[in-house]
Amino acid sequence: MFITETEQGNQFWNESHFVPHFQPIVNAINRSISAYEVLGRQFNPEENSYHSLGSLFHSREKDMVPIYNIDRILREKAVLQLKESNLRTKLFFNMMPNFLSRVHHTDLFAENFHIIQLIEKYGINRNQVVIEITEDEFEGSIERLIQIVQIFRDYGLKIAIDDLGSGFSNLERIGYLHPDIMKVDIQIMRESLNKNSFKQVLGAISEMSQKLGSQLLFEGIETEEEVNLALSMGANLLQGYYFSTPNPSFLNRNTFTEKMTHVLENFSHKRSIELVEKGRREQVIIDHLNQVFSGLEDASDDNFVFYFGTILKTLPKNILKIFVCDKDGYQITPTYDLDRMAGGYLEKITQIGNNYAWKPYFLKHKAESDRFQKKWGVTYPLYDIQNQNQYVIFTFSLAQSRILIAQVDWTD
């Protein structure tokens, strides 16, 4: 039941002034609004404007009762509004782990959770509710949090983890909770537009979401460039001011369809050009290596090592490191490292005998070579933290079961 008035200090809060706002979440696949995040707003009648309640919910107040009551008011108003709209959209409700842990410290039954009570009261579909676990610090029992989340999941609710990347505890939460949706912190996305290290972190999050089977949601998007980055990372859910500010009412499902059609066509065209250019760059290296080593196919092991060292001056100038292994991954030639200052290559004899059979690129090359008779392979761009540059690794099958490994500068 709603409270009519809540007092905190000398300030009175009128229930009618708390109004849920809804920020649309756009699905890139069907180019329409598929969900909304529910956000708390307080109406100021003197200013005739709404103000965010985010700072209130993230405050460290010892007396959580007023905040808890406001949260319940907003949640019930949002569910009622969804019911009355007859929309088949989803609502994302933010719930802080510390808050859940304090309120539900005993009697962990589905009927005791307010959101579940509301679903039953208003008869909305369970798959229309997503529980968004937010906050980057958690002081409670992780076992209790796991139990609470499992109750939500058993009831049929989806689980999202918010602000991914903003706190180290998120990695632990991902492992324990295995979310249906992973929300990426906007700051990481913005930093990744300018800093390669952040882009690699974002790429790792993207790969992790795919391996876990979680949907990827980028929030806080403000520009088309950020939309493109989100799409390039495999995010199918998009949220931010680029589409809309939070509104007190729902929007037409197809409000952004035309806009997304334009964005997707531009993105597809741009990515096609980039992939063609990537393929061209790869083919230049492949053709050159094929030409250089074609004369060594029948050389014995001793002659091969000798002649290998004599052809270094004919290699493309962007090869940073090169050596050859046998079929079992044992290095049979010295490693030749590009001398970035003086030019030419530095020979490292001591690395002969090193084994690379465990390296993912070596294992992948062998598997594709055996199954598809594929002669070459190339990794996605990697990052050399010491030399501050991007590189890729080419693997190339030579005669006599030799496998060449070349590290190639891939800086744009």
Give residue 6's pLDDT band: very low, low, confident or very high (50, 70, 90): very low
Q: What is the pLDDT of residue 100?
A: 72
> 313 and 401 share a domain?
yes
pLDDT band at residue 330 using 50, 70 and 90 as cut-offs: very high
The values of phi and psi at residue 20, to 5°, are: -65, 140
CA dist., res. 105 & res. 142, Å (int):
12
Phi-psi region of 388 (alpha: psi -120 to 50; beta: other; left: phi over 0): left
Of 52 and 30, the structure prediction assigns the larger pLDDT to 30
Percent of residues, the chain, with pLDDT higher than 70: 89
Q: Is the pLDDT of residue 3 over 70?
A: no
* pLDDT tier, 195 (very low <50, low <70, confident <90, very high otherwise): confident
pTM reported for the whole predicted model? 0.85
User: Is residue 302 scored above 90 in pLDDT?
Assistant: no
Is the pLDDT assigned to residue 338 strictly greater than 50?
A: yes
- E strand spans, 140-191: 158-164, 181-184
């090169």: which residue's tokens? Answer: 322
Q: Are 134 and 232 in a shared domain?
A: yes
Q: Who wins on pLDDT, 79 or 342?
A: 79
Say what the pLDDT of residue 137 is.
59
Rounded average pLDDT over 49-70? 77
Q: Which of 291, 289, 295 is nearest to 307 (CA)?
A: 295
250 lies in the same domain as 309 = no
Is residue 130 domain-resident? yes
Looking at the structure, do residues 300 and 180 belong to the same domain, yes or no? no
Q: What b/e readout covers 57-93, taking b as 16+ CB neighbours within 10 angstroms?
A: beeeeeeeebbebbbbbbbbbbbebbbeeebebbbbb
Give the pLDDT of residue 29: 96
Phi-psi region of 221 (alpha: psi -120 to 50; beta: other; left: phi over 0): beta
Q: Could you tell me if 196 and 234 lie in one domain? A: yes
Predicted confidence (pLDDT) at residue 104 exceeds the cutoff of 70: no
Strands 90-95 and 32-44: parallel
What's the rounded mean pLDDT across residues 20-33?
97
Of 1 and 144, the structure prediction assigns the larger pLDDT to 144
The yes-or-no verdict on residue 244 having pLDDT over 90 is yes
Half-sphere exposure of 156 (CA within 13 A, CB side): 9
239 belongs to a structural domain: yes
Query: What is the phi/psi pair of residue 49, to 5°?
Result: -145, 165
Give the three-class secondary structure for 396.
strand
> Which of 227, 255, 283 is where one domain is finished?
255
Same domain, 65 and 133: yes
Within-domain flag for 261: no
Tokens coding 28 = 């890139």
Work out the mean pLDDT of the chain and round it to a whole number.
86
Residue 20, domain member (yes or no): yes
Instruction: Give the side-chain half-sphere CA count within 13 A for 48.
Output: 0
The pLDDT value given to residue 62: 60
When divided into structural domains, the chain yields a total of 2
Is the confidence at residue 4, as pLDDT, over 60?
no
Are residues 55 and 187 both part of a single domain? yes
Of the three residues 255, 283, 298, the one that is the final residue of a domain is: 255
- Model confidence band, residue 297 (pLDDT cutoffs 50, 70, 90): confident
- The CATH number assigned to the domain holding 353 equals 3.30.450.20
| Residue 260, domain member (yes or no) | no
Q: Which helix (H) or strand (E) holds 363?
A: helix 360-372
Contact 235, 218 (CB under 8 A): yes
d(CA 82, CA 128): 9
Angle value at C-alpha 88, between 228 and 212, nearest 5 degrees: 50
Indicate the pLDDT class of residue 136, thresholds 50, 70 and 90: low
Give the residue with greater pLDDT, 411 vs 117: 117
Measured CA to CA, the distance from residue 50 to residue 22 in angstroms comes to 13
Q: 228 and 309 share a domain?
A: no
**pLDDT at position 273:** 96
Whether residues 27 and 156 share a domain: the answer is yes
In a domain, 75, yes or no: yes
Say what the pLDDT of residue 74 is.
95
Tell whether 236 and 290 lie within a shared domain. Answer: no
Range picked from 105-114, 184-193, 374-383 for highest mean pLDDT: 374-383
- Same-domain status, 84 and 188: yes
> For the chain, how many residues are written?
412
Domain range enclosing 111: 5-255
CATH at residue 41:
3.20.20.450
> How far apart are the C-alpha atoms of 24 and 257, rounded to whole Å?
13
| Top-confidence residue, 210 or 343 | 210
Residue 276 has pLDDT above 50, yes or no: yes
Q: How open is the CA angle 169-171-175, to the nearest 5 degrees?
A: 120
Highest mean pLDDT of the ranges 95-99, 181-185, 223-227, 310-314: 223-227
Annotate 4-33 with b (16+ C-beta within 10 A) or e (fewer).
Answer: eebeeeeeebeeebbbbbbbbbbbbeebbb
Q: Does the pLDDT of residue 323 top 80, yes or no? A: yes
pLDDT band at 140 (very low <50, low <70, confident <90, very high): low
Is 265 a domain residue? no
Per-residue pLDDT, 95:
85
On whether the CB atoms of residues 256 and 235 are closer than 8 A, the answer is no
Which pair of tokens denotes residue 259? Answer: 């806009």
Instruction: Report the alpha-carbon distance of residue 197 to residue 195 in Å, rounded.
Output: 6
Single residue among 255, 286, 314 that ends a domain in this structure:
255
Domain annotation covers residue 264? no
Is-contact 131 115, C-beta < 8 A? yes
Co-location of 283 and 142 in the same domain: no
